[in-house]
Structure 1
Amino acid sequence: MAFMKSAILVCVTAVLTVYLPQLWTKTRPIITAGTVQPGFEPVAELFRENFKNGVEYPTAGSALSVYYKGSKVVDIWGGYADSEAGRPWKEDTLTIAFSATKGMAALCMAVLVDRGHLDYNKTVASYWPEFAQNGKEKVTVRMLLNHQAGLSEISDEDTYALLGDQDALGDFLARYAPEWEPGTAQKYHAWSFGLYASQLLRRADPKHRTLGQFFKEEIAQPFGIDFHIGFPLELYHRYPRLSWASAFMWLKETISNPTMRQFVWNRLIAGELGAAFKPIEFQEFMIPEKLALEQPSACGVGTARALAQVYGILANGGATLKGQKLLSEGILKKVMDEARTPDGVAATGVTFNLGFLVEMGAKRFGHPGAGGQYGVADPQHRIGIGYVSSYISTAGSGGYDDRFDPLREVTYKCITKLEAK
Structure 2
Amino acid sequence: MRLLGEAGLLAQGRSGAGVDPQRIFQAAVDAAIDAGEVGIQFAVYKDEDLVVDVWGGVADRAAGRQVDRETLFNVFSVTKAITAVAVHIQAERGLVSYDAPIAQYWSEFAAHGKDRTTVRDGLSHRTGIPAMPEGVTPEQMADYDWMVNALANLEPVFEPGTTNAYHSYTWGWINSEVVVRTDPQRRPFRQFVDEEIAQPLGIRDLWMGLPPEDEPRVAHMYNSETSIADQSTARGRSMPIQVAGTQDVFGRSIVRQAVIPGAGGIYNAISSARFFALLANEGQLDGVRLLSAERVRRCLEPRPDTDKLDVGRGTVTRVSNGGFWLEAPGVFGSGRILSHPGLGGSIGWADLDNRLAVSMCHNRHGVAYAEPLADALGQAFGVT
Bin for the TM-score computed over the shorter chain: 0.7 to 0.9
Matched residue SS, 1:138: coil
Cα 1:107–1:157 shift into 2, 3 Å: farther
Structure label with greater radius of gyration: 1
- Partner Cα distance (2:351, 2:294) in 1: 16
Letter aligned with residue 24 of structure 2: P
Per-residue CA shift, 1:198-231, capped at 9, x if unaligned? 2221111111123222111111122122110011
Matched with 2:14 is: none
- After TM superposition, give the deviation of residue 139 of structure 1 in Å: 0.4
- Partner Cα distance (2:46, 2:236) in 1: 48
- Tell whether the 8 Å contact from 1:159 to 1:169 is kept in structure 2 after alignment: no
Matched residue SS, 1:337: coil
Letter aligned with residue 29 of structure 2: F
Does residue 95 (structure 1) correspond to residue 73 (structure 2)? The answer is yes
- Tell whether the 8 Å contact from 2:340 to 2:349 is kept in structure 1 after alignment: yes
Matched with 1:204 is: 182
Does residue 304 (structure 1) correspond to residue 269 (structure 2)? The answer is yes
Match of 2:9 among 16, 34, 37: 37
Please list, as runs of the form range in 1=range in 2, the aligned pairs for 1:20-419 lying within 5 A after superposition. 36-38=8-10, 39=19, 40=21, 41-51=23-33, 53=34, 55-57=35-37, 60-154=38-132, 157-158=135-136, 160-162=138-140, 166-225=144-203, 226-244=205-223, 250=226, 267=232, 281-320=246-285, 322-342=286-306, 345=309, 348=316, 350-359=318-327, 362-393=335-366, 395=367, 401=368, 403-416=369-382
The CA RMSD over aligned residues, in Å, is 3.0
- Partner Cα distance (1:293, 1:37) in 2: 38
Letter aligned with residue 404 of structure 1: A
- After TM superposition, give the deviation of residue 280 of structure 1 in Å: 6.7
- After TM superposition, give the deviation of residue 271 of structure 1 in Å: 12
- Tell whether the 8 Å contact from 1:155 to 1:191 is kept in structure 2 after alignment: no
Cα 1:184–1:69 shift into 2, 3 Å: same
- After TM superposition, give the deviation of residue 131 of structure 1 in Å: 1.1
Q: TM-score, normalised by structure 1?
A: 0.76
- Tell whether the 8 Å contact from 1:150 to 1:178 is kept in structure 2 after alignment: yes
- Partner Cα distance (1:271, 1:338) in 2: 25
Cα 1:156–1:84 shift into 2, 3 Å: farther
- Tell whether the 8 Å contact from 1:121 to 1:141 is kept in structure 2 after alignment: yes
- Partner Cα distance (1:280, 1:162) in 2: 15
Q: TM-score, normalised by structure 2?
A: 0.83
- After TM superposition, give the deviation of residue 298 of structure 1 in Å: 0.8
Letter aligned with residue 308 of structure 1: A
Letter aligned with residue 350 of structure 1: R
- After TM superposition, give the deviation of residue 368 of structure 1 in Å: 0.5
Matched residue SS, 2:288: coil
Query: How much identity, in percent, do the aligned residues show?
Result: 29
Per-residue CA shift, 1:312-359, capped at 9, x if unaligned? 121012212x31112210110101135553485379572243211112
Give unpaired runs (5+ residues) of structure 1: 1-33, 255-259, 396-400
Cα 1:162–1:285 shift into 2, 3 Å: closer
- After TM superposition, give the deviation of residue 145 of structure 1 in Å: 1.1
- Tell whether the 8 Å contact from 2:200 to 2:288 is kept in structure 1 after alignment: no
Matched residue SS, 1:196: helix
- Tell whether the 8 Å contact from 1:201 to 1:210 is kept in structure 2 after alignment: no
- Partner Cα distance (1:121, 1:74) in 2: 39
- Partner Cα distance (2:145, 2:248) in 1: 28
Per-residue CA shift, 1:240-268, capped at 9, x if unaligned? 2221168xxx5xxx9xxxxx9xx76x958
- Partner Cα distance (2:138, 2:348) in 1: 26
Per-residue CA shift, 1:172-210, capped at 9, x if unaligned? 221111011111111110110111112221111111123
Cα 1:36–1:65 shift into 2, 3 Å: farther
- Partner Cα distance (1:215, 1:356) in 2: 17
- After TM superposition, give the deviation of residue 47 of structure 1 in Å: 1.8
- After TM superposition, give the deviation of residue 159 of structure 1 in Å: 6.4
- Partner Cα distance (1:189, 1:269) in 2: 9
- After TM superposition, give the deviation of residue 42 of structure 1 in Å: 2.0
- Partner Cα distance (1:325, 1:289) in 2: 34
- Tell whether the 8 Å contact from 1:133 to 1:174 is kept in structure 2 after alignment: yes
- After TM superposition, give the deviation of residue 84 of structure 1 in Å: 2.3
- Tell whether the 8 Å contact from 2:91 to 2:98 is kept in structure 1 after alignment: yes
Cα 1:268–1:98 shift into 2, 3 Å: closer
Matched residue SS, 2:300: helix
Cα 1:349–1:201 shift into 2, 3 Å: closer
- Tell whether the 8 Å contact from 2:341 to 2:348 is kept in structure 1 after alignment: yes
- After TM superposition, give the deviation of residue 123 of structure 1 in Å: 0.8
Cα 1:159–1:355 shift into 2, 3 Å: farther
Cα 1:72–1:344 shift into 2, 3 Å: closer
- Partner Cα distance (1:390, 1:180) in 2: 35
- Tell whether the 8 Å contact from 2:110 to 2:152 is kept in structure 1 after alignment: yes
